[in-house]
Amino acid sequence: MLALRTLSTEVRARSSSSIPDMRRLLILIGVATLALSVTACGTTADPNAAVVNGQPITIESANSLARDAVFVRTVVNAEVPPNESILPGDVARATLMFQVQRAALVTELKRWGLQVSSKDLAAADAQLDQILAGSGAPVQQKPSVATRKALAEFLAAGSVLDRRLASISPTNQQDLTRIYEGTSAFWKRVCIAVVQVDPSALKSAERLADKNVPLEKWSKKEKRAALVADPKKACISSARLPVEFVQPVRTTPVGKVVGPITVSSQQGQAAFWFRIDSRIVLSQKEAGAELAELAGSVAQQGSAALIGLTLLSDVTVNPQYGTGVELGTQGGVVIGRPEGAPQQTALLDQSGPTDQAPPGQAPTDQAPRAAANSAG
């Protein structure tokens, strides 16, 4: 029987010296994107694709970066379509994720009282030349001035933050406070009862739900049901919820039993019912040893681990792009697909997202090709 997925308090990062630092940073925090779908076509009332801790990322800026052939080839591992007025949704989303990360880095530099020096920028610029040389782009193709500036600033900011995070002490209260404040979603806890039910017992489970049998007693009445989360024993971090649970848990009132929620994995499928007993937020003092452990992890893994957590706390995504930033099934940070959206690649034009394919073409069903998808 499938177990309810839980994530470690650490964001486990992969590293490889053979991967350029810019793409490695993207891979480390799991740049994966899901199919985009919207409810309206054409213009959008909201000019922003996302807002990161108060910093707006406009649709116009996302489009501009996504039309840069060198950027898309180097970071997104894709090609810009010949018709520049129409961009594939996967390119647009991967570009947006890059900009979200860049904005989050700026926020963390301020939080930690850091500045990027001219020396840092010069080193990043030289590094960028090496990355571009190895990207496979034709020699005559160069990124725009604005794109090159964005990439160099991204590399420099990550390097500066990495150096500071390496010196974090789990006993330094100022360091702990900065981490606590930047990872607010991690300390929001949901005290939840969850029952896992084998697919062969769905009808039996539905009868138990109809009879208002407490979830804690389901396993006594149905052998194919098991209590996998008990609110009396522990509360779960909102940042550690499986992706299938994020939206239902976010919108369900306390005391209501919800299900079935179907979760698929390599072992097969399982259905879950849940009930929220309460929602709490741990204070920094209550976080205690867990916060110190997280600080140690950030010190070892650097900006990739920290940004991965802050993105779960401080990002608002335009609903036309997705439900928001959340942990995907592989533990990476993703832009969640809008509930009920079709599994197809949508298109992003100069006015904003649209679900219309180009004239004469049917909507595609291609998997996104963001940097994380090419990671080993």
| Res 235: pLDDT | 92
Start-end of CATH 3.10.50 domains in the chain: 188-281
| Res 185: pLDDT | 85
Q: Which residue has the tokens 């160069």?
A: 142
Domain 188-281 belongs in CATH node 3.10.50: yes
| Res 354: pLDDT | 38
Cα–Cα–Cα angle for 130, 33, 102, rounded to 5 degrees: 50
Are 44 and 58 within 8 A, CB to CB? no
Are 147 and 65 within 8 A, CB to CB? yes
User: What number of other Cβ atoms are within 10 A of residue 267's Cβ?
Assistant: 9
Where helices occur in 166-283 by DSSP H, the ranges are 173-182, 202-210, 218-221, 243-251
| Res 355: pLDDT | 34
SS3 178: helix
Where helices occur in the chain by DSSP H, the ranges are 21-28, 59-66, 69-71, 89-111, 118-133, 145-165, 173-182, 202-210, 218-221, 243-251, 284-301, 303-314
Q: How far is CA 48 from the centre of its chain?
A: 18
| Res 285: pLDDT | 94
**pTM (two decimals):** 0.71
| Res 332: pLDDT | 64
Q: Which residues of the chain have pLDDT under 70?
A: 1-44, 80-90, 135-141, 322-324, 326-376
